[in-house]
Amino acid sequence: MPRAFKHLIIGGLIMTISVPTAATANEDDLKLTIVNPKNLYDPSPNGYSTAVIMPRGARLAYISGQGGQDGTGALSPDFAVQVKQAYANLRTALDALGAKPDQVAKLTVFVVDHDMSKLEVLTGNVKDMFGEALPAQTLIPVPKLAIDPMLFEVEAVVVLE
């Protein structure tokens, strides 16, 4: 952060202090940098990036786990429907923050009774929401979530402008 020097006169002594000054960030200063090293497996076909670098001085928001409940609290028994609704809920939370999907740096997803057949559903939803700006992501298989009918939950770390 830039600093300014202020001069104070205290009891006849002149003191110089350094104080931070506000800097105006341009849009490029707030962009996430996606890193997928060439010597590692390319994770982008599976809907995530190896690492994401936050911009210097970024403000962060943490979005709590979003499940597949609709606005009335109803929860479909179908995994694909829950995943689609959970990402719609995540989008609503981003909108409430004034953020866009390309500001999401990290996702953590929790899948009940995970198996490989669920990856296609997960990957499709992530790519639909994030396009090429794929956040870093961790999938954690779990035996159950907060309520028994929940099959999926997604939480996010977001960089705010």
Q: Are 35 and 52 in contact (CB under 8 A)?
A: yes
Q: What's the CA gap between 77 and 83, in Å, rounded?
A: 11
Token digits of residue 149:
């009918």
Q: Are 48 and 136 in contact (CB under 8 A)?
A: yes
**pLDDT value of residue 6:** 53
- Rounded to the nearest 10 degrees, how much is the dihedral formed by the CA atoms of 118, 119, 122, 125? -110
What are the chain's domains? 33-160 (3.30.1330.40)
Token digits of residue 84:
């689609």
* Model confidence pLDDT, tens digit, residues 118-132: 999 999 999 999 999
Query: Residues 148, 150, 153, CA angle at the centre, nearest 5°?
Result: 140
The reply to whether the predicted model has a pTM over 0.85 is no
Q: Are 89 and 132 in contact (CB under 8 A)?
A: no
More confident residue, 124 or 10: 124
Residue indicated by tokens 């954690």? 140
Q: What's the CA gap between 66 and 146, in Å, rounded?
A: 11
* Model confidence pLDDT, tens digit, residues 99-157: 999 999 999 999 999 999 999 999 999 999 999 999 999 999 999 999 999 999 999 99
Name the phi and psi angles at 160, rounded to 5: -95, 150
Q: What's the CA gap between 90 and 65, in Å, rounded?
A: 8
Contacts of residue 73, defined as CB under 8 A and 6 or more positions apart, other chains included, come to none
Amino acid at 108: T
Query: Residues 156, 123, 36, CA angle at the centre, nearest 5°?
Result: 75
